[in-house]
Amino acid sequence: MNEITQGFWDAWALILFFDPDLYEIIFLSLRVTVTAVVIASLIGLPIGALLAVNRFRHRRFVIALLNALMGLPPVVVGLFVYMLLSRAGPLGGFGLLFSPSAMIIAQVIIITPLIASISHQTVRDLWANYHDLLISLNTTRAQRISALLWDSRRALLTATLAGFGRAIGEVGAIIIVGGNIDHATRVLTTAIALETGKGNFAFAMGLGMVLIMLAIIVNLLIHNLTKTEQASTW
């Protein structure tokens, strides 16, 4: 119990005294995860909508696959991305291993299925309502998808935030492909893993508190921004 309270105080001390290392780590955590969420949303949201609108042969299988991939073990993704980006691997020539880019790639793989699955559920429900209208207006497929995505934007925000939540708290993949290098690829979660390994539980708890606070702040911020649209019915 003592170490938990100690961790709480450590967290405040770190934040209030503007520990530069901590702010560097926080900034990198945000940079990696926000970039990954943006890329994964650009891929995942259209896939989700496409699966809701389109009827094709193996649709059910693809949806089941996507749902199953939501549970991808990060450490396996990490190993896979490591083998891809390793100098001995097929994409080794780019020299991306142990860089923030490698961490972004791993996180995109982890959260794209999650974002696509949730957005598929959301858009599917809306498509049931809009189906007759959009068909009667003789819209193209692209128009349908963009209309559906736009009109369910607030629910899709949940999909994006779920992706953010999974990515910001992820450690198994990014510690393998990022290498947890001080001042280069160290983020909050890998720093927590490191301090736990050193037996510095209070400090690790402190970093954990910072991580939770960061997630809350980001979520509150996003919810505040979307409140500006309260007038719209959807």
Partner 1 sequence: MKLGWKVLVAATLIASASHAETLRMAVTTSFYNSGLSEVLLPEIKADLGLEVQLIVVGTGQALRLGKAGDVDAILVHFRIAEEDFVEGGFGTHRREIMYNDFVFIGPSDDPANLTEANSAIDALQRIYAVKATFASRGDDSGTHKMEMNLWDAAELSTELPEGDWYRAAGASMGATLNVASGMNAYVLSDRASWLSFGNKGDLVLLYAGDPALFNQYAYIPVNPTLHPHVHSELALILEDWLTGAKAAELITNYTVNGEDLFTFNASTK
Which chain residues interact with partner 1 by CB under 8 A?
31-32, 35, 38-39, 42-43, 46, 86-89, 92, 95-101, 104-105, 179-182, 184, 194, 196-201
Q: What is the DSSP-derived secondary structure letter of residue 229?
A: G
**Nearer Cβ to partner 1, position 2 or 230?**
2
**Nearer Cβ to partner 1, position 71 or 199?**
199
Smallest distance from the beta carbon of 141 to partner 1, in angstroms?
A: 12
Contact between residue 219 and residue 161 where contact means Cβ atoms under 8 Å apart: yes
Smallest distance from the beta carbon of 65 to partner 1, in angstroms?
A: 21
- Helix runs in the chain, H state only: 2-16, 20-53, 59-69, 74-85, 100-136, 141-151, 153-168, 172-178, 188-197, 201-226
Q: What is the DSSP string of 68-132?
A: HHTT--HHHHHHHHHHHHSTTSTTGGG--TTSHHHHHHHHHHHHHHHHHHHHHHHHHHHHHHHHH
**Nearer Cβ to partner 1, position 98 or 127?**
98
Smallest distance from the beta carbon of 167 to partner 1, in angstroms?
A: 14
Closest by alpha carbon to 232, among 163, 158, 155? 155
Smallest distance from the beta carbon of 53 to partner 1, in angstroms?
A: 15
Contact between residue 146 and residue 134 where contact means Cβ atoms under 8 Å apart: no
Smallest distance from the beta carbon of 135 to partner 1, in angstroms?
A: 23
**Nearer Cβ to partner 1, position 41 or 152?**
41
Contact between residue 104 and residue 32 where contact means Cβ atoms under 8 Å apart: yes
Smallest distance from the beta carbon of 206 to partner 1, in angstroms?
A: 13
**Nearer Cβ to partner 1, position 73 or 229?**
73
**Nearer Cβ to partner 1, position 13 or 38?**
38
